[in-house]
Amino acid sequence: MIVEIESRICASGLTLDLLVLGHNVDVVVDGLASCNKKEISIALARMQQGGAHISYKRESLTLTCW
């Protein structure tokens, strides 16, 4: 599960690297931030296209409880 401050650089880079290594990656939208709010949607699109599962805090907490 990825929760990161700078979505365009740190979160997307780490996520894409982990996906290339064959890991399943869940990205929590509520845990992302950026100096430029427009970059969050761009980063999310890149991560989702790379194979990451995009979720929200409530959804991820439900998944964790199972």
| Contacts (Cβ under 8 Å, ≥6 apart) of 51 | 19, 25
Structure confidence at residue 28 (pLDDT): 86
Q: Is residue 50 part of a domain?
A: yes
Structure confidence at residue 37 (pLDDT): 84
User: Range of 43's domain?
Assistant: 7-65
Q: Is residue 47 part of a domain?
A: yes
Give 32's pLDDT tier (boundaries 50, 70, 90).
confident
Q: Is residue 43 part of a domain?
A: yes
Q: What is the DSSP secondary-structure string of 7-62? A: IIIIIHHHHHHHHHTT---EEEGGG-B-SSHHHHHHHHHHHHHHTPEEE-HHHHHH
- 3/54 Cα distance (integer angstroms): 11
Whole-prediction pTM:
0.77
Q: Is residue 23 part of a domain?
A: yes
Q: How many domains does the chain have?
A: 1
Q: Is residue 39 part of a domain?
A: yes
Q: Is residue 2 part of a domain?
A: no
Q: Is residue 16 part of a domain?
A: yes
Q: Is residue 34 part of a domain?
A: yes
